[in-house]
Structure formats: structure tokens, C-alpha cells
A = this chain, B = another copy of it.
Amino acid sequence: MKITFVGLGNMGAPMARNLLKAGHQLTVYDLVPPAVAALVAAGASAAKSLREAAGGAELLITMLPSSPHVRAAYLGADGLLAGVAPGVLLVDSSTIDPQSAREVAAAAAAHGNPMADAPVSGGTGGAAAGTLTFMVGATPEIFARIQPVLAQMGKNIVHCGASGNGQVAKICNNLLLAISMIGVSECMNLGAALGIDPKVLAGIINTSSGRCWSSDTYNPYPGVMEGVPAARGYTGGFGADLMLKDLGLALDAAKHTKQPVVLGAAAQQLYQMFSARGAGAEDFSAIIKLYMAGQTS
């Protein structure tokens, strides 16, 4: 299949490589020449412009940093919609606000191009291993058509409903994840201060009503689990600044829909405070350091 892939950053590059491995004929585009060169060395063709990249594709995938990038790439005068043939499927895997996703998809539809939003979770590790989760917002027909290709880059391809709902699922999940992670941090730290062995406490919580992914799979308290960022100085994993970005999207969406998110807002501010200490590049579970006396990042 002739696929065009736009956006070869930390996530996009390994995703594109997996499409090459799967045997697709890949055209790539990025503003950073070495990123393009690396993919060309792996067998892809380079396009000189977005418009050119879009021409000839049977499927077009984008992986960009933020809403303005996505809007510009698709809607710009020399952008993807200007170059793509009607009927070609479009997939945006960027994590952006649902409203923008829906607006771009509506513009694509008006141009004759079915479009899906398909943000991912799983990090750079999952991108390289091809084990990402894709949260897809699209009609059932579009979903059915893109599912096989997404499955070459990921393990779980989840249909979240109509256009924009992939983004909704992503930011709602991460809103809850941030709250849970801080909740586990407060809980573990309080327990330790009160004299219980953190491992014992985690064991009890994990079989009780406090059970959550942040506790049983990704516990932030040092020494409780192996193989998690807390066991390796909070390196690797999902960076605190990326969580802060997603919280920003969730809080913006809450503002626009007039939904209160009290703990979500507090979580955003705590991550902001943490990031302001210069620790934004650490794994997001390092937020527990805010709660530890004498700990600095």
C-alpha cells in the first residue's frame, strides 16, 4: 500500500519504520532533514513538500506535536488537503484537542477525504515495539479500513466512536491517570510516614478498592516494584511535561464544555509546579518527589 507519513519525531519515526517493515511503500515528510534521511536510509522516499507528500498516497498518516501544527499541515494553502486525491483515507495520530480534530476532519470530509483521529498511548517504547494502543475516532466504515494498518504499528486498536472521540478518550484517560498517580503518591507517602512498609501497603491497596494502574503496574514509590521508572531514578517512561501537555488539553476541553474538574485542575498545577523545578523531563511518576521532604528533582 502506498502510505505517506508526516512527522518523524520520537514517536513518528519508529511508527513509520514499522510500516516499512510491514512492506508498505512509504513516502515521508518532516521539517528536520536528518529525520527524513534516516527513514530514507531505511527504504522510504522523501517528499519535498506537504503537497507533494500528499500526492499519490493511498493512505496518509500524520504524527505532529500540537493542534496548530495539525491545522497548518492539513488546512494550509500548500497543505495536505491541497495535495491529496479525493477518497484517500487520512489518519491523524497526534494528541490534540477534540474540537480541532473534529474541525480538521470536517474540512477533510468536505474535500472528499474520510478522516480518523487516532492518538496513541504506549510511549516511544511501544512505538518501536509496535505495541501502541490506538484510540480511534471515526465512522465504523473508516475504522474497519484503517484498523489493519494501525495493527501493524500497535497492539490494541480501539474504536472510540465518531470523529474526535479518539482524542476524547485519550485526554480523559490521561486526566484520570494524572489524578490517580498523584493520589497514589499521597497515599504511599502518608502510609510510609505512618509506619507501614510501602510494599505491604501497595499489596493491600492492589487487592482493595484503592487499586489502580498507578499503584499495581507503575507504582511511584521507590522500592515497591521492579521494572518501573521509580526503580531506575524516574528515567524512561512518560515524561512529566508530556503529562502536563495532556492535562492542558483536558482542562481546555473542560473549560469549553463548562465542566468542573477540581482534582484535574489541581493535578495540572502540581505538574506545573513540578515542571517549574526543572524536572519536566523525568517520568511523570516522579511527581511523588513533590511530597517527599528534602527531595528535589
Measured CB to CB, the residues of A under 8 A from B are 98, 121, 133, 135, 156, 158, 160-162, 164-165, 168-169, 172-177, 179-180, 182-184, 186-191, 193-197, 200-201, 204-205, 207-215, 217-218, 248, 250-251, 253-255, 257-270, 272-273, 275-278, 290-294, 296
Contact = CB atoms under 8 A, between A and B. Distances in A.
Contacts of A251: 251, 255
A250 B209 contact: no
Contacts of A262: 182, 186, 262, 266, 269-270, 273
A167 B160 CA distance: 40
Q: Tell me if A's interface is mostly helix, strand, loop or mixed.
A: helix
Given A190-B172, A191-B168, A200-B161, A260 B248 contact: no
Count of identical protomers in the assembly: 4
Given A186-B263, A193-B259, 14 more contacts: A161-B200, A162-B195, A164-B194, A173-B204, A176-B205, A176-B210, A179-B179, A179-B182, A212-B213, A251-B251, A254-B272, A258-B275, A260-B276, A261-B269
A190 B210 contact: no
A277 B293 contact: yes
Given A180-B183, A250-B190, A218 B213 contact: no
A272 B259 CA distance: 7
Which 4 A-B pairs give the minimum distances between C-beta atoms? A212-B212, A179-B183, A176-B210, A193-B257
Given A258-B276, A270-B262, A160 B253 contact: no
B168 A259 contact: no
Contacts of A261: 186, 190, 269
Contacts of A210: 172-177, 180, 213
B205 A172 contact: yes
Contact of A293 (B177, B186, B204, B278): B278
B267 A268 contact: no
A255 B277 CA distance: 15
A261 B268 CA distance: 10
A102 to B, nearest CB: 9
Contacts of A184: 176
B169 A209 contact: no
Contacts of A211: 212-213
Contacts of A164: 194-195
11 contacts: A135-B204, A165-B196, A169-B196, A169-B204, A172-B190, A179-B186, A182-B262, A211-B213, A260-B270, A276-B294, A278-B294
